[in-house]
Amino acid sequence: MIEAKENFNNTWPFNPNFFSGNGFKQHYVDEGKENNKVILCLHGEPTWGYIYRHFIKELSKNFRVVVPDLMGFGKSETPKNKEYSLKTHVENLENLVNYLELKNIYFVGQDWGGPILGAYTLRNLTNTKGMFLINTIFGYSKTEKPKELTPWFKWIKKNEDSGTLDGILGELNTTVLSIMKLLNFTNSSIIDDNWIKAYASPFPNRDSCLGAINFPLDVLHGRMVPFIIDCLKNGDMKSFLDIPSELVYGMKDRAIDPDYAIKDFKALYPNAKVTKLENAGHFSQEDEPYKIIELIKGFVSNN
Q: Where are the domains of the chain?
A: 17-302
Is the pLDDT at 198 greater than 90, yes or no? yes
Q: How far is CA 87 from CA 92, 133, 220, 224, 225, in A?
A: 9, 19, 16, 7, 10
* pLDDT, tens digit (0-9, with 9 covering 90-100), for 209-219: 999 999 988 88
Q: What is the mean pLDDT of the chain?
A: 94
The values of phi and psi at residue 129, to 5°, are -95, -30
State how beta strands 26-31 and 64-68 pair: antiparallel
% of the chain exceeding 90 in pLDDT: 83
- Euclidean distance between the first and the last CA atom of the chain, given in angstroms as a whole number: 37
Show the DSSP H helices in the chain as ranges: 53-59, 86-100, 113-123, 151-162, 165-169, 172-183, 193-200, 210-220, 225-234, 237-242, 258-268, 284-287, 289-302
- Which has the higher per-residue pLDDT, 285 or 220? 285
pLDDT at site 145: 86
Nearest CA to 141 among 288, 301, 272, 282?
272
Is the pLDDT at 1 greater than 80, yes or no? no
- Residue pair 227/119 in contact by the 8 Å Cβ criterion: yes
Nearest CA to 176 among 278, 73, 279?
73
What is the pLDDT confidence band of residue 222, given thresholds at 50, 70 and 90?
Answer: confident
pLDDT at site 45: 94
Q: How far is CA 239 from CA 76, 100, 121, 243, in A?
A: 33, 24, 10, 7
160 burial type by CB count under 10 A (0-12 exposed, 13-18 middle, 19+ buried): middle
Q: Sheet of 105-110: strands edge to edge?
A: 17-19, 26-31, 64-68, 38-42, 105-110, 128-134, 245-250, 273-277
* pLDDT, tens digit (0-9, with 9 covering 90-100), for 151-185: 989 999 999 999 988 888 899 999 999 999 988 88
Query: Averaged over 214-227, what is the pLDDT?
Result: 89
| Three-class SS state of 155 | helix
Is the pLDDT at 4 greater than 90, yes or no? no
Contacts of 200 (CB under 8 A, 6+ apart): 172, 173, 174, 176, 177
pLDDT at site 43: 98
- Give the CA radius of gyration of the chain: 18
**Residue 170 to residue 270: CA distance in whole angstroms:** 40
* pLDDT, tens digit (0-9, with 9 covering 90-100), for 52-68: 999 999 999 999 999 99
CATH class for domain 17-302? alpha beta
**Residue 7 to residue 201: CA distance in whole angstroms:** 11
**Residue 218 to residue 86: CA distance in whole angstroms:** 8
pLDDT at site 262: 97
**Residue 256 to residue 288: CA distance in whole angstroms:** 18
pLDDT at site 297: 98
Neighbour-count burial for 103-137, b at 16+ CB within 10 Å, e otherwise: eebbbbbbbbbbbbbbbbbbbbbebbbbbbbbbbb
pLDDT at site 142: 87
Q: How far is CA 99 from CA 96, 102, 256, in A?
A: 5, 8, 33
* pLDDT, tens digit (0-9, with 9 covering 90-100), for 117-138: 999 999 999 999 999 999 999 9
pLDDT at site 230: 94
% of the chain exceeding 70 in pLDDT: 100
Q: CB count, 10 Å around CB of 97? A: 19
pLDDT at site 110: 98
